Amino acid sequence: MTSSDISVRNLWKVFGAGGAKIPLDPELSALPSSQLLERTGCVAAVKNMNFDVAKGEVFVIMGLSGSGKSTLIRCLTRLIEPTSGSVTIGGRDILQARPAELRELRRQKMSMVFQHFGLLPHRTVLDNVAYGLQIRGAAKNERYARSREVIELVGLKGYESHFPEQLSGGMQQRVGLARALAGDPDAILFDEPFSALDPLIRRDMQAEVIRLHKDMGKTMVFVTHDLSEALKLGDRILIMRHGEAVQCGTGDELVGSPANDYIADFVSEVPRSDVLTLKWIADPVAAGTPGDAPVLSSDTIIRDAISTVMHSSSPVLVEESGTIMGQIDRDSILSVLHGAVPHGTRAAA
């Protein structure tokens, strides 16, 4: 995570007549969505959004349906025209881009994968994948060669001459993925790409995305309503509600220190031991802890620490960047597994 690749500042999208004035009006822009709708008849799908996505990061936008997440991701490539604010991609504010520049940007810099695939039914898999390249004006040989490469990459070799409707949902989404990859964009946007797939296939596809990300290191913005998907894929997660950002952080930050009751409620079902690291449950080193006790890194996921702690006769020390920052014992592990909320309530447990 070096330089930031996508930078969003004060982004608004207001649907409805006269929506353009609302972000400028200090009183209206402060209203909650329901009152805004009542007063102006406008719906603020995205309200004053600010975030940065670093190069090579997987940034997840998550929220329930109607939270504005799909609108937000469409604003990033102007499939939906934002009302105000700025979206900077590779140092260029795309909201200022003229149509031709915007097209160029869509062709070269960022591509998108859709929930319902958006494949062209009258074209074969090969022609679907090659579509973006054709639009750019690539020669036939060149675009087919590149497309075959990508098709193999997503595991569809042998299906080049099939039509989309002859493929299963998971395979169709692989075609969608291949189409997005074919143009070798800097960033890929995913709009709930796996929501329409059944759970097993969804798991495969998630693994596929993780693999591709590891291999290619592309920046990814991933929209989902599924918290476990968000935690599995996301370096950082932005939780949206009523068009506003509620909290933005890594998975363990959201689970470990939820910003408010909404987030706490949201993450309450998440098995803490799978997400939290040792630093969230470490106690101060007690006097009686022997100096030669086992040491674990504070970044270790709790679940991975279980066997060490259980087999150790003494508490286990936790180190963070070279220094011991605390210790954990069987009780602290068990209380997490039991479902207690760390930190605040930890002392009582």
Considering the complex, state which of residue 94 and residue 318 has its C-beta at the smaller distance from other proteins. 94
Q: Does 134 bind other proteins (CB under 8 A)?
A: yes
CB of 112 to other proteins, least distance (A): 4
Q: Does 63 bind other proteins (CB under 8 A)?
A: no
Q: Does 176 bind other proteins (CB under 8 A)?
A: yes
Q: Does 120 bind other proteins (CB under 8 A)?
A: yes
User: What is each CA distance from 241 to 25, 34, 60, 227, 244, in whole angstroms?
Assistant: 21, 12, 14, 14, 5
Q: Does 159 bind other proteins (CB under 8 A)?
A: no
Cα angle 261, 53, 204; round to 5: 80
CB of 227 to other proteins, least distance (A): 24
Q: Give the three-class secondary structure for 102.
A: helix
Using CB under 8 A, which of 183, 256, 258, 342 touches other proteins? 183
Q: Does 114 bind other proteins (CB under 8 A)?
A: yes
Distance CA 281, CA 47 (A): 35
Please check whether residue 86 is in contact with residue 9, taking contact to mean a CB–CB distance below 8 angstroms.
Answer: yes
Tell me the torsion sign for CA atoms 344, 348, 266, 30: negative
Please check whether residue 102 is in contact with residue 279, taking contact to mean a CB–CB distance below 8 angstroms.
Answer: no
Considering the complex, state which of residue 176 and residue 251 has its C-beta at the smaller distance from other proteins. 176
208-216 long-range contacts (CB < 8 A, ≥24 apart) are: 208/154, 208/155, 208/174, 208/177, 209/177, 209/233, 212/153, 212/154, 212/177, 212/181, 213/58, 216/181
Instruction: Tell me whether strands 236-241 and 244-249 are parallel, antiparallel or unpaired.
Output: antiparallel
Q: Among 29-37, 119-127, 220-228, 309-317, which window interacts with other proteins (CB under 8 A)?
A: 119-127
User: What is each CA distance from 29 to 47, 91, 249, in whole angstroms?
Assistant: 8, 28, 25
Q: Does 103 bind other proteins (CB under 8 A)?
A: yes
Q: Among 131-139, 150-158, 223-231, 257-265, which window interacts with other proteins (CB under 8 A)?
A: 131-139
CB of 162 to other proteins, least distance (A): 9
Q: Does 144 bind other proteins (CB under 8 A)?
A: no
Length of the chain: 349
Q: Among 162-170, 207-215, 277-285, 322-330, which window interacts with other proteins (CB under 8 A)?
A: 162-170
The residues with which 93 forms a beta bridge, in sequence order, are 88
Using CB under 8 A, which of 27, 38, 81, 165 touches other proteins? 165
Number of residues in contact with other proteins under rule CB under 8 A:
33
Q: Does 172 bind other proteins (CB under 8 A)?
A: no
Interface ranges with other proteins (CB under 8 A): 74, 77, 79, 102-107, 111-112, 114-122, 131-132, 134-136, 163-166, 176, 179, 183, 189
